[in-house]
A and B are shown apart, each in its own frame.
Chain A
Amino acid sequence: NAGVTQTPKFRILKIGQSMTLQCAQDMNHNYMYWYRQDPGMGLKLIYYSVGAGITDKGEVPNGYNVSRSTTEDFPLRLELAAPSQTSVYFCASSYGVEEGYTFGSGTRLTVV
């Protein structure tokens, strides 16, 4: 099984540009999450989904948007990139609420 697949692995954006970070899982997990990891900080939850068609904000949702049209896919959209969004982004999924998460390998995004 592939687990959680994220694309792209690296991206450089100019201020004001938009992009979508792709995330797909093949484990039939209901729960999916987007986190960002900044140097010296713990992972912060951006958005999460408890199933297809259901999404909700996490701790740091400003500047981002998500959709969940299928169980497998959970893309993260950045509409107007800002330098503060320079970070490493991780997508994760889990079967249930009290389960360990499976993380993707991350997308390193730089906004210049």
Chain B
Amino acid sequence: SQKIEQNSEALNIQEGKTATLTCNYTNYSPAYLQWYRQDPGRGPVFLLLIRENEKEKRKERLKVTFDTTLKQSLFHITASQPADSATYLCVAAMNTGFQKLVFGTGTRLLVSP
């Protein structure tokens, strides 16, 4: 079955540095990937969507890449701030008539002052 793999260990970085989160998929080809932010006790919040024919997408301090050869997406937060501390979910969307989303379990990011 289709799976999304994200590092289950928390990523600890210092304020001002760039955080890079990794998302890998294996034996399938998503039509696009989404990234969400989830805070404790809250629902996920949509951040970015990148399609298979797009190499890179940016939004303010966020950047997402999509490498179909490596079967990998990287999510970058530049000039990170303590307020960026949260769990980030990678989601793969299959193009099967009605889209099927496969959610990763998320990577927790901790940004220390």
Q: Which residues of A contact B (CB under 8 A)?
A: 4, 35, 40-45, 48, 50, 56, 90, 92, 97-106
Name, among B36, B43, B47, B104, the residue most crowded by chain A CB atoms within 10 Å (CB to CB). B43
| Contacting pair A42 B44 (CB below 8 A) | no
A50 contacts B42, C-beta separation under 8 Å? no
Name the residue on B nearest A106 (C-beta): B43
- Chain B interface residue bracket vs A: 20 to 34
The reply to whether B42 and A106 form a contact with Cβ atoms under 8 Å apart is yes
Which of A35, A42, A99 meets B4, CB within 8 Å?
A: A42
A105 touches B42 (CB 8 A): yes
The 9 closest A-B pairs by CB, nearest first: A100-B46, A103-B43, A42-B103, A43-B103, A103-B44, A90-B43, A105-B43, A42-B105, A97-B99
SS class, residues of chain B in contact with chain A: strand
User: Can you identify 23 A-B contacts, CB atoms within 8 angstroms?
Assistant: A42-B4, A42-B89, A42-B102, A42-B103, A42-B104, A43-B44, A43-B89, A43-B101, A56-B98, A90-B44, A92-B43, A97-B98, A98-B31, A98-B93, A98-B99, A100-B36, A100-B46, A101-B46, A103-B44, A103-B45, A105-B42, A106-B41, A106-B43
Q: Which residues of B contact A100 (CB under 8 A)?
A: 34, 36, 46-47, 49
Given contacts A98-B93, A100-B34, A100-B49, contact A50 B98 (CB under 8 A): yes
- B residues 1-18 in Cβ contact with A at 8 Å: 4, 8
Chain A residues, CB < 8 A from B44: 43, 90, 101, 103
Q: Are B101 and A45 in contact (CB under 8 A)?
A: yes
Closest to A59 in B: B100
